[in-house]
Amino acid sequence: MSDKTAFQPPATIGILGGGQLGRMLALEARRCGYRVAIFTDEATGCPAGQIADWEVNARYDDTEALDSFLARVDVVTVEFENIPDACLSYVEARKPLRPGRNAVFTTQHREREKLFLRSQNIPCAPFQIVEDLAGLERAVAGLGRPCVVKTAAFGYDGKGQAKIGPESELADVWSGFEGHHAVVEQWVPFVMEVSVVGARAVDGSTATHGVVENIHDRHILDVTLAPARVTPAIEKQALALWESVAQGLQYVGTMAVEMFVTAEGKVLVNEIAPRPHNSGHYTIDACVTNQFQQQLRAVTGQKLGSPRQHSPAVMLNLLGEVWPSETRQPDWTPVLSHPEAKLHLYGKQLAKLRRKMGHITVLGATADAALAEARKLQGLLGSRTA
C-alpha cells in the first residue's frame, strides 16, 4: 500500500527491528505523543522494546504474529535493512510502509545497491559481481590489486569483507565466500570518509543534514565530526549525491549515504543505509530537527523540519570495550558532569566487545575543539582491552 496519508498523535508507528535506531525513533515518537510498536525477532526487552508501548517478538516470517502487529499499527517503518523481503512485501500489501519495500530491498543487498548506483550514473568504486572462483579471478584481473571483496547480503561494519592485496591467494579468499554472491570493488585510496544523512517526505521534498566526517576503528565507526573538514566543492558533490540516491529510490524517510573522498577531490558513494545512521546521532543534540524526528515526520506524512545545525559537534561511539566487564558499568561521572557532553545509552544488557552500547555527543566552538574534548572523555572512560 503506498499513499500519502498523514498521521497525527496518538497514531501508532510500527517499527520493524528492535535495536538502538528503533529505540531513538521510539523516544522521539513518544515525546510527540505517538504510540510505538516494535516487531523484532530479538527477545523481549530489546533496546527499542524498552521504550515502545508494546512489542511483538517473533520471526519475520511469522504471518500470524505480523497480522496481529499490523492490525494495531497505522504506519510502518524499518530500523535496520536486513528484514526478509517476504516480510517487507507482506507489510507493504497491508499498511503504508515508509520507506517502501523497493528502497529497502535495493539497499539491503550490495549487488542490487551497486547495480542501482550504476543505473543512475551515481559515481562509486568500479566493481564486478562474482559468483565463483573463476569470476573472482576475472574480476581481480580486470579491477587490479588491491581490491576488496564483500558479500552481497547481510554485511555490516566490515563483516563479510576481505581485502585482496598483491600476495593474496584468490582460492583462499574465495573459500570464505563459497556459495554466495559477492561484489569485488577496486580499492579507493580515500583521504576521508564522509556521510550525508537526510530525509525525503511523501511529497518529495528533502532536507539534508550537512556533510559529516567519519573516522573508523577496525571497520566500526569511532567518531563523527560535524561538520566535516571539507571544501565547499566536496560538500556540494556529497549533498548532490545524497539527492540523486533519494530521488532514484523514490525514498520516504531518513536515509544515510556513506562516501569516500579521494585525493583528487572526487566523491564516490560507498553505501546506502535506508534508515537513520550512526553518523547522524549528533543531530539529536546539535540540530533543530534531528534525524529521528525527520524520520517520524516523513513516515507520518508530515512536512520535514529544519535540519539546521546550531553547534559544531562530535559523536563518539561507546563500544563494549568501555565497560570494565560485560556486566559492570563504567563510572560515567566524566561525561555526566561535562558542560557540553551528552550521554546516550542503548539499554543493552551485555557489554560484548565491539558491540555498540551507546554514544556521547560533545558540542564545541569548532568540530576540532569538540573532538579534543571527546578524546579526553574517551581516555578518562578507558577500555578493558587497553
Site for ligand AMP, rule CB under 6 A: 125, 148, 150, 155, 158, 185, 187-188, 193, 216, 219, 258, 270-271
Residue nearest to ligand AMP (CB): 188
Task: Considering the complex, state which of residue 12 and residue 186 has its C-beta at the smaller distance from ligand AMP.
Answer: 186
Task: Using the minimum distance from each CB to ligand AMP, give the nearer residue, 92 or 258.
Answer: 258
Q: How far is the CB of 96 from ligand AMP (least distance, A)?
A: 30
CB of 186 to ligand AMP, least distance (A): 6
Whichever of 55 and 271 has its CB closer to ligand AMP, that residue is 271
Nearer to ligand AMP, 355 or 384 (CB): 355
What sign results for the dihedral spanned by CA atoms 134, 138, 141, 147? negative
What cell does 309 get? 545545525
**Backbone dihedral angles phi then psi of residue 268, each to the nearest 5 degrees:** -120, 140
Q: What nine digits make up the cell of 123? A: 559515481
Nearer to ligand AMP, 76 or 183 (CB): 183
Q: Which is nearer to ligand AMP, 275 or 338 (CB)?
A: 275
- Residue 65 sits at φ, ψ, to 5 deg, of -65, -40
Residue 263 C-beta: closest distance to ligand AMP, Å: 13
For residues 302 and 203, what is the distance between their CA atoms, to the nearest angstrom?
9
CA distance 356 to 218: 13
Q: How far is the CB of 158 from ligand AMP (least distance, A)?
A: 4
- For residue 58, count CB atoms less than 10 angstroms from its CB and return exposed for 0-12, middle for 13-18, buried for 19 or more: middle
CB of 204 to ligand AMP, least distance (A): 28
Task: Give how far the C-alpha of residue 102 lies from the chain's centroid of Cα atoms, to the nearest Å.
Answer: 17
* Least Cβ distance, residue 332 to ligand AMP (angstroms): 29
CA angle 317, 77, 350 (to 5 degrees): 35
- Separation of alpha carbons 40 and 46, rounded Å: 9
- Per the CB < 8 A criterion, the answer to whether 34 and 300 are in contact is yes
Measured from the CB atom, the residue of 135 and 146 that comes closer to ligand AMP is 146
Nearest CA-CA partner of 117 in 149, 109, 227? 109
What's the min distance (Å) between Cβ of 354 and ligand AMP? 14
Nearest C-alpha neighbor of 318 from the set 362, 287, 283, 288: 362
